[in-house]
Amino acid sequence: MSDDCPLPRVRGMSADGGVSVCDCLAAGTMWMQETVDLILVRGDVEKVWGRARLQPHHCLAGLPPGLMPHLVLSLAGVQQLVNIPSPQVIKTHLPFQLVPKSFWENRCKVIYVARNAKDNVVSYYFCDQMNKTQPEPGPWELYLQKFMDGKLALGSWYDHVCQYWAERANHCILYVFCEDMEEHPAQEIRRIMDFLEVELPSQVLEKIIRQTSFRIMKENPMANYSSLPRAIFDQSVSPFMSKGQVGDWKNHSTVAQSEAFDAHYQRCMEVTSLHFRTQI
């Protein structure tokens, strides 16, 4: 490891009292980050827009291939993270085993966003199409197989979602399903408020629900990354925020692909109590 590699600094970060929003990529971290930010500033949209927010190219990034992703860190991003005032809201896609121990030792709260695998892989695919920091994803059928084999940037989706699920009783982890957020936003935002120990009046809750709706966020430059150059995110290929619909996988997978995926999914998930909905 080179002397200028920031990994030791990441391992030693305190993040005292901070909040980490995490997912396996393309499952709703931006949605959750916006929700958490609005809760912490009591629905003040201007304050949210003024908060320091890490850009994706400043954060931890995985590089394929391999079951265990190789991680590269941006020195600028780590320094930016250190300088964010408390309470820090950190967005990451790190697998559980790579989360710095200091996150847990310093009472960092983790909100994990999980999305059903079929919709997740579709969003993942379109994200990789426009993400020019990653190799071209190739045809859909090969990409789907790579997802099943755990050979995409962040390794196995199954390991990622199941490890956080298994550790939620041992650490300060709130597990939130993307499908529940879409179907019952008020209920799920109240769960997040309770987890963050924040009380808000009903009118502020309604404001947060409106502000974090897909329609509003799709037009929000703080959420849609429209300010990033095409050399990083080429949104002429695919928008960062595409549809946000539960069940969109039906528009992309053939019957044969869906059946093969289901069989593989059942084998991989038979030992966990974690269950997802593929439609609402």
Give pLDDT tens digits for 181-194. 999 999 999 999 99
pLDDT tens by residue, 13-63: 555 668 889 998 888 888 898 999 999 999 988 877 655 554 443 344 333
- pLDDT band, residue 77 (cuts 50/70/90): low
Choice between 250 and 76, residue whose per-residue pLDDT is larger: 250
The 10s digit of each residue's pLDDT in 212-259 is 988 887 777 666 666 677 777 766 666 665 666 787 888 889 999 999
pLDDT at 246: 83
More confident residue, 102 or 77: 102
Please state, in angstroms and rounded to a whole number, the distance separating the CA atoms of residues 269 and 125. 22
H helical segments located in 28-116: 29-40, 45-50, 75-83, 101-105
CB 99 within 8 A of CB 60: no
- The CATH class of 18-269 is alpha beta
Active site residues: 93
61 bridge partner residues: 72
168-175 LR contacts (CB < 8 Å, sep 24+): 168/112, 171/104, 171/110, 172/104, 172/107, 172/108, 172/109, 172/110, 173/109, 173/110, 173/111, 173/112, 174/109, 174/110, 174/111, 174/112, 175/112, 175/114
Query: 90 is written with which tokens?
Result: 């950190």
Burial 138-152 (b: 16+ CB within 10 A, else e): eebeebbebbbebbb
Q: d(Cα 120, Cα 123) in Å, to the nearest integer?
A: 5
189: its two tokens: 């935002």
Predicted confidence (pLDDT) at residue 71 exceeds the cutoff of 50: no
Describe the strand order of the beta sheet including 109-114 as a list of residue ranges: 89-92, 19-22, 109-114, 173-177
Q: What is the mean pLDDT of residues 71-92?
A: 61
Give the confidence band of 98 by pLDDT, cuts at 50, 70, 90.
confident
Residue 198 has pLDDT above 60, yes or no: yes
Q: Alpha-carbon distance 35 to 51, whole Å?
A: 13
At 27 the three-state DSSP class reads coil
Q: Compute the distance between CA of residue 7 and CA of residue 158 in angstroms, rounded to an integer.
A: 25
Query: Which is more confident, 83 or 135?
Result: 135
Q: What angle in degrees, to the nearest 10, is found between the helix axes of 157-167 and 255-269?
A: 40
Q: Among 10-14, 124-128, 173-177, 183-187, where is mean pLDDT lowest? A: 10-14
- List C-alpha distances in Å: 153 to 69, 102, 227: 6, 25, 24
Q: For the ranges 88-102, 184-198, 200-214, which has the lowest average pLDDT?
A: 88-102
* Percentage of residues in the chain having pLDDT higher than 70: 73
pLDDT of 171 strictly over 60: yes
Q: Which residue has the higher pLDDT, 269 or 73?
A: 269
Asked if the model's pLDDT at residue 73 lies above 70, the reply is no
Residue 63's pLDDT is 35
How large is the average pLDDT for residues 6-18?
A: 57
